[in-house]
Structure 1
Amino acid sequence: MKLSSLFKVVSKEIIKPSSPTPTNLHRYRLSFFDQIMPPMYISSIYFYEKNDAYSKFNINSSAKSSTLKQSLSNILKHYYPLAGRLKDNNLSVDCDDEGVLYREAEVKCQLSDIVAEPNPTEMKKFLPCDNDGTHHLPFAVQVNHFTCGGIAIGACISHKIADGSSFIHFMKNWAATARGESDVIYPQFQSSTLCPPATNLCGFDPTYVMPKEKLVLKRFVFSSASVEALKAKYVESSAGLELYPSRVDALSTFIWSRYATTIDQVKSESEKLHIILYAVNLRRRLNPPLPDCTFGNLFRLIPAIVSKETSQEDWYGIVRKLRDAKRKLDNFDVKNLQKSSEQLDLVKEFSGKLMAPDTAVSTFSGLCGFPRYDVDFGWGKPLWIGRVSLPYKNLITLTDTKFGDGIEAWINLNEEEMVKFERDKELLSYARI
């Protein structure tokens, strides 16, 4: 569905924290992991049906908007960097309470029309920010009102200051504040202390991962039965015992195997080496572990290297490689994060390998198990959560379906490869688009 003629921004304002940020907190230092993130937004679009069960409370569009704005102001005093502005070439945040961009729009169609056949390209309309090269707002939100009474809340957060975990926990806390909850667990801002910033990033460009070619995002839905079948497909036997991979490891291996097969059909000169990167949340793996409310970019990309000469029968071993690579981060000493110069050297060396012309890189980000659907502002949990394309080539994001009975795989490829990939018969025997 083309939204251009059905969509209209009707208001724009700035929401400031309900109380001023203390002077000693006016400069928020980014951590080393924040520094090396590209200047881009990560986003989600939360779709809410009109809920007649709440009609007796007169929760109409105006009341919802008032609740959202007041609760956003209240939560921002605890998430004060989000109301600031990125400065110093995106290396720090000036927390002077300039406020969050808050837009409202009217959409002259039914919410069900969008959710029934989601188009990630069209869904950019629901967001207040775009990855178009401009980047100074840490956070922005857009509330979209449908003619049916449903709404879609599109939120963008800068990847320079937050990862997916921080984003999800902020949205959950904002919603809890809107409901009047008193047991909200507020963030801890200690990432720059745990992982001090590098004094000089000379020789490293965070934008290297952002390709110039046009990318296409598609959603592939795997039912619980399909996921279980894939776990059985990659089961291993050891000492007479059957070892089943996790849902995420099995699905990641399957998607990569179908992609590797597909690009063989697309490219005349296939790459010699594949590197599978997996984003691993460090919070609970560190020694000592960090609470989930620790704010910032606290994840590490771990590699599993696969030769293109590897036969399809040997692809089953990729599950083991992913599992073993993640285990290396178990009980990772927090003190190792203090060595920013050594960390930068490792990042530069690894980046060089990733950019080699004979290498194909696929990056997997797993958000399964996160409380994404617990974002209830007082009128029920979201019907569905949508996404838009990010400027990452070969990025695969795995998320739980609403009731946790399946997995959505959001796959970002260039146009030529996506045409082949989405027609792969074996892929479609497990997934629906």
Structure 2
Amino acid sequence: MNIEVELISEEIIKPSSSTPDDLRHYQLSFLDQLSPPVYNPLVLFYEFNDETMPSVTEISNHLKKSLAEVLTLFYPLAGRIADNKFVDCNDEGIPYVEAHVKCELSEVLNNPVPGEFSKFMPFELDNIANKLPLGVQLNIFECGGFAVGHCISHKLADGLSHFMFSKTWAATALGDQAKIEPPEFISAKLFPPRDFTAYDAGLGITRNKVAKRFVFSASMIEALRAKYQNSEGLENQKRPSRVDALSAFIWSRYVANTKDTGPAEKLYMVLHSVNLRPRFDPSLPHHSFGNLYRAAMTAPFLSSGEECYGLVMRQVREEIDKIDNHYMKGLQQGAEHLSELNESVDSVISGELITFSFSSFCRFPLYDNDFGWGKPTWVSSPPLTFKNLVVFMDTKEADGIESYISLEEEVMVKFETDIEFLAYASPSGC
């Protein structure tokens, strides 16, 4: 479906309290500097309830008041990004947009088209010149339901930092002091900034892709876990996780649908985003703010037949397990890591290397955002700005998984007609 959204108003929301002078210069970390200049988006959908729902004006005023309050905790989000080095925490504020969606909320919930959800955002997600750290848009449906769309610059925050901001904003609106967790801004101390004038953090950003949502039910996920449990390479290994199994399956179908196209000799690289917080010794708190993630890179050994994917899964696990406290100490030095990144970038540009990335938001607090009118009916996201990318999110019941897959159009066409893929995945939205 084609969603029509009409702008109603736009204003700037500033922190309710001024940022102290000694906090006006927020230094980006080494890992922030390496992060792409795009936005991580999130859309929270809320159904209208005649008994508890206030007017649109009251909803909007409540969101704006609590947003101003939470910006005092997350003060860098109300500043301006400067030269991939720091944030000027000048309290200039963030854009808050109200918009009218010309359809019923049920129409979106019954036939979700993630490609249309960028209309629920206050600005373009791939505008690399945008210096705003955060934007919010309140989208009001004709039925009275609404969606809160917000996006945070990836230069400041990874996925978990975004979700913790959203959760803390909701707790602030609800007045639930126990769930208000002030962020810890320690990333620049752990990973001091460096000079990256020669590194292109925007590599891979493209509009030459199509994003679709596929849902894997609990029973299909369990079938895949069982399938890979006894495959070659996983003997005497722990049972594959849900994300392990889905990653191996989706990647196997990607290889099957691309191996006969393009260069005859192709090197496939699988990248899995890894949360660094629990891999420190001692672990960092989950509300540590910044880009505290890295990609575990695996060039899997390829052989014919499904039996090889247990081996692939084992190789991926081994690479992820290498991200330990010893790895952290090397990463904090920075130089060797940057050298490896530059080598990978050169290989991607030359066409020698095909990368396929996975990022999982499963078990993250997606459905904890109660602003005072109940938890969201659904949490979703517009497509991210990269191709060959899969993002996993729990279904609301947390037993199934939604997979947002971004591919080049010709590859997506093959996926949508891949009988083996569709035997496990249910397409949703086009």
User: Which range, TM-score by smaller chain?
Assistant: over 0.9
Aligned match for 2:102, one of 69, 84, 108: 108
Cα deviation, 1:270-327, whole Å, max 9, x if unaligned, reads 4421111000000011122100000000001001212455554212211111211111
What's the TM-score, normalizing by structure 1?
A: 0.94
Asked whether the 8 Å contact 2:234–2:310 carries over to 1, the reply is no
Percent identical: 45
> What are the superposed Cα offsets for residues 69-105 of structure 1, whole Å, 9 maximum, x if unpaired?
00000000000000001112x3211100000110001
In the other structure, the counterpart of 1:8 is 6
Alignment correspondent of 1:40: 38
Let me know the Cα RMSD of the aligned residues. 1.8
CA deviation string 1:357-407 (max 9, x = no partner): 132210000111101111111111111122212221100001111110100
Provide the C-alpha distance between the structure 1 equivalents of 2:332 and 2:237, rounded to a whole number of angstroms. Answer: 40
Determine the structure 1 residue equivalent to 2:367: 373
Determine which of 169, 187, 203 is the counterpart of 1:191.
Answer: 187
The one-letter amino acid of 1:192's match is: A
- In 2, the alpha carbon distance for the partners of 1:404 and 1:297 equals 25
Looking at structure 1, the residues matched to 155 and 34 of structure 2 have their Cα atoms a distance apart, in angstroms, of 8
Q: Secondary structure at the match of 1:231?
A: helix
Distance (Å, rounded) in 2 between the aligned partners of 1:107 and 1:167? 25
Q: Which segments of 5 or more consecutive residues in structure 2 lack a partner in the other structure? A: none
Whether 1:411 aligns to 2:405 is yes
User: What residue in structure 2 maps to residue 210 of structure 1?
Assistant: 205
Aligned pairs for 1:70-149 (under 5 A) are 70-88=65-83, 90-130=84-124, 131-149=126-144
SS at match of 1:302: strand
Alpha-carbon distance in structure 1 between the residues aligned to 2:7 and 2:259: 45
Q: Cα–Cα, structure 1 residues 420 and 14, in superposed 2: closer, same or farther, change >3 Å?
A: same
The Cα of 1:8 is off from its aligned counterpart by 1.0
Assess if the C-alpha contact under 8 Å between 2:360 and 2:393 holds in 1.
Answer: yes
Aligned AA (1:371): P
Deviation at 1:240, TM superposition (A): 8.2
Whole-angstrom CA distance in 1 between matches of 2:344 and 2:217: 35
Residues 138 and 240 (structure 1 numbering): CA distance in 2 closer, same or farther, change over 3 Å?
Answer: closer
> Which amino acid is the alignment partner of residue 149 of structure 1?
G
Q: 1 CA distance for matches of 2:275 and 2:414? A: 32
Q: CA deviation at 1:14?
A: 0.5
1:325-344 correspondence runs (5 A):
325-332=319-326, 334-344=328-338
Counterpart residue identity of residue 6, structure 2: K
- Cα 1:242–1:285 change in 2 (3 A) is closer
Instruction: Name the aligned partner's letter for residue 34 of structure 2.
Output: I
The 5 Å alignment of 1:301-320 reads: 301-309=295-303, 311-320=305-314
- 1:254 matches 2:249: yes
Partners of 2:164 and 2:87 lie apart in 1 by 20
Is the Cα contact below 8 Å between 2:100 and 2:139 reproduced in 1? yes
The answer for the alignment partner of 1:30 in structure 2 is 28
Amino acid corresponding to residue 16 of structure 1 in structure 2: K
**In the TM superposition, what is the alpha-carbon distance from 1:203 to its structure 2 partner?**
2.7
The whole-number CA distance in structure 2 between the counterparts of 1:283 and 1:298 is 7
Residue 153 of structure 1 aligns with which residue? 148
Normalising by structure 2, what TM-score? 0.94
Please name the residue that 2:48 is paired with. 50
CA distance in 2, matches of 1:226, 1:312: 17
Partners of 2:112 and 2:10 in 1: CA distance:
26
SS of 2:90 mapped into structure 1: coil
**CA contact under 8 A between 2:302 and 2:308: conserved in structure 1?**
no
1:53-81 Cα deviation digits (max 9, x unpaired): 424xxx22111111100000000000000
Quickly say closer, same or farther: Cα 1:3–1:239, change in 2 above 3 A.
closer
Superposed CA deviations along residues 15-57 of structure 1, whole A, max 9, x for unmatched, are 00010000011111100110011111110111110123424xx
State the one-letter code of the partner of 2:414: K
Q: Which residue type is aligned with residue 165 of structure 2?
A: F
* Secondary structure of the corresponding residue to residue 313 of structure 2: helix
- Tell me the SS of whatever aligns to 1:287: coil
Distance in 1 (CA, whole Å) between partners of 2:342 and 2:281 is 25
3-state SS of paired residue (1:105): strand
- Tell me the amino acid that sits aligned with residue 225 of structure 1: S
Letter in 2 for 1:316: G
Runs (5+) with no aligned partner, structure 1 = none
Alpha-carbon spacing, 1:295–1:240, altered in 2? closer, same or farther (3 Å): closer
Give the letter for the 1:196 counterpart: P
In structure 1, C-alpha distance between the alignment counterparts of 2:264 and 2:73, rounded to whole Å: 50
Bigger mean CA deviation after superposition, 312-321 or 35-44:
312-321
Matched, 1:64 2:64: no
The 2-side partners of 1:330 and 1:153 are apart by: 37
> Does the C-alpha gap of structure 1 residues 369 and 270 become closer, same or farther in structure 2, counting only changes over 3 Å?
farther
Instruction: Name the structure 2 match of 1:392.
Output: 386
Within 2, Cα distance between the matches of 1:142 and 1:73?
A: 14
Which residue in the other structure is 1:169 paired with?
Answer: 164
Distance in 1 separating the partners of 2:307 and 2:187: 42
Q: Tell whether the 8 Å contact from 1:287 to 1:333 is kept in structure 2 after alignment.
A: no
Runs of 4+ in 1 over 6 A off after TM superposition: 237-240
**2:135 aligned partner, one-letter code:** A
Assess if the C-alpha contact under 8 Å between 1:194 and 1:334 holds in 2. Answer: no
Q: How far does residue 115 in structure 1 lie from its aligned partner after superposition?
A: 1.5
